[in-house]
Amino acid sequence: MALTGNFTKIWYTQSETDFIDLDVTYPSDLPSDDPDYDKRGTTETIQVPENVKNTQEYQNVYIALDWCFHYKFSGDGNGNTLLDFGYRVYESEAQRNSDPDSHILEGDFLQNWVDLSSNQDIRVVAYEILKTKEGFEQLTDS
């Protein structure tokens, strides 16, 4: 199991020149030792750096799961359980097969609530989740 195709790596950085206004409301019951105690019950507008989306395109890559963790407890109230998984990006399937540690990128997706009541293979579920993530939409099953 793996995915192949075009992949877009996406990450965010904070702008050094562009800022956005953000309204912050301080609770009226702040403890007296809170650094914002004097602002309790007020709202102020602060400026924070704008997040900038960065992308890098990778053509015809091979993406394979590296690890999966399934937490066998129900925590969302709907019977779903948590699935965490990591992936590695390779230039090709041959590269991965000759040396699994020769990946060009790696990443993970944590805290995915999934329904595994039908005893699905967690790797299949992880690949299906991966294909829905931004940057992974052009990948297909290999």
| pLDDT (tens digit per residue) in 90-104 | 999 999 999 999 999
Query: Could you tell me if 21 and 71 lie in one domain?
Result: no
Q: What pLDDT, on the 0 to 100 scale, is given for residue 119? A: 80
Q: What is the pLDDT of residue 74?
A: 66
Question: Residue 42: which domain range?
Answer: 13-53
Do 111 and 72 sit in the same domain of this protein?
yes
CA distance linking residue 62 with residue 72, whole number of Å: 30
75 has pLDDT over 80:
no
Q: What letters, b where the CB count within 10 A reaches 16 and e where it falls short, cover 26-42? A: beeeeeeeeeeeeeeee
Do residues 93 and 64 share a domain? yes
pLDDT, averaged across the chain: 94
**How far apart, in whole angstroms, are the C-alpha atoms of residue 113 and residue 79?**
9
- Lowest mean pLDDT of 5-14, 68-77, 103-112, name the range: 68-77
- Same domain assignment for residues 37 and 107: no
- pTM beyond 0.85, yes or no: no
% of the chain surpassing 70 pLDDT? 99
Residue 92 and residue 131 share a domain: yes
Q: Give burial (CB, 10 Å; 0-12/13-18/19+) of 90.
A: buried
Together in a domain, 17 and 85: no
Domain count, the chain: 2
Look at residue 137 and tell me whether its pLDDT is greater than 70: yes
The answer, yes or no, to whether residue 110 has pLDDT greater than 80, is yes
Residues 27, 72 share a domain: no
Residues 101 and 113 reside in one and the same domain: yes
* pLDDT at 117 > cutoff 80: no
Over residues 14-68, the pLDDT tens digits come to 999 999 999 999 999 999 999 999 999 999 999 999 999 999 999 999 999 999 9
Do 67 and 32 sit in the same domain of this protein? no
Task: Examine the domain organization and report whether 49 and 64 are in the same domain.
Answer: no
Residues 61 and 39 in one domain: no
100 and 32 assigned to the same domain: no
Q: In terms of pLDDT, which residue wins out, 15 or 75?
A: 15
